[in-house]
């Protein structure tokens, strides 16, 4: 149990001392004369009783629980002020409306690649690369933003066309320069509402949306 939980040091330092308390000083000489793990385990199997193992397992569990509780309390202590400010803000102003959320995206549009896009490269983009491999045919990107998915689809075989829609006009304008690059398929972007798309049924073979549902007023309706 100690080996599994990573408490190797207990075999070399702690357990010999515990056995000394139980069985006398001559045991200390026997254990310390051979510090190999195999010898220690063999000795323990021969001389330790069931209640010794129960005590060791209980101690291991207690140590793990203590570490977990300490980490939890540390996390709460570090973010206590942030949580307090967030709670006070919500009590005073409520949660942001759809209009207010869209204003944030309008504000961030011109710096999206250098601010948000830079962070996504260390996380979200890896998931995009993994998921978008399955895209094929005519592709619709809902809430496309500045079209980071377009650059990935460029390398995916089987994609015949690309249409990106976003409700934030500023995002669409920032995405247009990317269309100037050569692509193996026709591509365009336009303003559109994820809650009410202006396309007939069966217009696309693949519909994608990355990092978008958390920003919709009604995610179920968007789906």
Quick one: which of 18, 61, 62, 59 has its CA closest to 40?
18
Q: What is the mean pLDDT of residues 203-218?
A: 88
Q: What is the CA radius of gyration of the chain?
A: 30
With cut-offs at 50, 70 and 90, classify the pLDDT of residue 3: very low
The helix (run of H) or strand (run of E) holding residue 85 is helix 80-93
Q: How would DSSP label each residue in 34-69?
A: ---HHHHHHHHHHH--HHHHHHHHHHHHHHHHHHHH
Structure tokens at 184: 């193996």
Burial of 52 (0-12, 13-18, 19+ CB in 10 A): middle
pLDDT beyond 50 at 21: no
Contact by Cβ (8 Å): 140, 208:
yes
Dihedral angle over CA of 130, 198, 196, 191, nearest 10: 70
Residue bearing the bigger pLDDT, 116 or 137: 137
Q: What is the mean pLDDT of residues 77-82?
A: 86
Helix locations, 146-208, DSSP H? 148-153, 169-175
Residue 197 neighbours by CB under 8 Å, 6+ apart = 140, 142, 165
117-176 pLDDT, tens digit per residue, is 766 777 777 888 889 999 999 999 999 999 989 989 999 999 999 999 999 999 999 999
Q: What is the pLDDT of residue 206?
A: 96
Q: What is the mean pLDDT of residues 66-82?
A: 88
Residues composing the chain = 223
Angstrom distance (rounded) from CA 97 to CA 1: 53
81-112 pLDDT, tens digit per residue, is 888 888 888 888 787 777 888 898 899 888 88
Please provide the average confidence, as pLDDT, over all residues in the chain: 80
Residue bearing the bigger pLDDT, 24 or 191: 191
Per DSSP, what are the bridge partners of residue 190? 165
Q: What is the pTM of this model?
A: 0.58
Contact by Cβ (8 Å): 158, 137:
yes
* Angle formed at CA 217 by CA 215 and CA 220, multiple of 5 degrees: 95
Q: What is the pLDDT of residue 35?
A: 53
Three-state secondary structure call for residue 206: strand
Q: What is the pLDDT of residue 166?
A: 95
């Amino acid at each position: 149990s100690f080996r599994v939980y990573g408490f190797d040091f207990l075999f070399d330092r702690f357990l010999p001392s515990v056995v000394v308390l139980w069985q006398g000083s001559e045991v200390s000489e026997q254990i310390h004369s051979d510090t190999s793990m195999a010898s220690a385990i063999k000795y323990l199997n021969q001389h330790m009783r069931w209640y010794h193992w129960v005590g060791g397992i209980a101690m291991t569990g207690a140590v793990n629980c203590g570490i977990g509780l300490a980490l939890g309390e540390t996390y709460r202590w570090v973010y206590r002020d942030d949580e307090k400010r967030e709670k006070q803000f919500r009590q005073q102003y409520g949660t942001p409306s759809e209009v207010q959320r869209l204003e944030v995206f309008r504000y961030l549009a011109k710096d999206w690649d250098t601010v948000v896009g830079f962070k996504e490269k260390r996380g979200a983009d890896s998931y995009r690369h993994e998921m978008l491999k399955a895209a094929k045919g005519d592709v619709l990107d809902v809430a496309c933003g500045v079209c980071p998915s377009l650059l990935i689809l460029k390398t995916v075989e089987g994609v015949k066309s690309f249409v990106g829609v976003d409700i934030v006009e500023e995002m669409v304008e920032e995405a247009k320069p990317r269309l100037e690059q050569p692509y193996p398929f026709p591509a365009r972007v336009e303003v559109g509402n994820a809650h009410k798309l202006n396309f007939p049924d069966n217009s696309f073979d693949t519909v994608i949306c990355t990092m978008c549902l958390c920003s919709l007023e009604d995610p179920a309706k968007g789906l």
